[in-house]
């Protein structure tokens, strides 16, 4: 059985939930939802299944959070090349 990730949280559960609900960008919403669920004590694998990403991705978001809080998590962008 997986164990919850250990994170030195800078934000409480209520703050993370409020940020998640207010976010309009889909990438931000997914990341904030994941952090909120982790803050509730869910495992990384469980959260990954809920938000639809690989557990490694959730771990990457947690690493960013550890490095610089929500600001660091939200500054990263996925994609953006615009294709052809």
Question: Distance between CA 69 and CA 10 in Å, rounded?
Answer: 7
From 9, 43, 27, select the one nearest 77 (Cα to Cα): 27
Q: Is the dihedral of CA 18, 21, 26, 30 positive or negative?
A: positive
24-66: pLDDT as tens digits: 999 999 999 999 999 999 999 999 999 999 999 999 999 999 9
Residue pair 32/23 in contact (Cβ under 8 Å)? The answer is yes
Confidence of residue 23 (pLDDT cuts 50, 70, 90): very high
Q: What is the pTM of this model?
A: 0.88
What pLDDT score does 40 carry? 95
């Amino acid at each position: 059985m997986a164990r919850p990730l250990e994170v030195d949280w800078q934000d409480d559960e209520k703050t993370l939930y409020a940020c998640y609900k207010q976010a309009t960008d889909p990438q931000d919403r997914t990341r904030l939802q994941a952090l909120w669920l982790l803050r509730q004590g869910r495992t990384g694998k469980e959260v990954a299944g809920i938000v639809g990403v690989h557990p490694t991705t959730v771990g990457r978001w947690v690493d960013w959070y550890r490095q610089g809080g929500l600001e660091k998590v939200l500054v990263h962008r996925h994609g953006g090349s615009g294709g052809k």
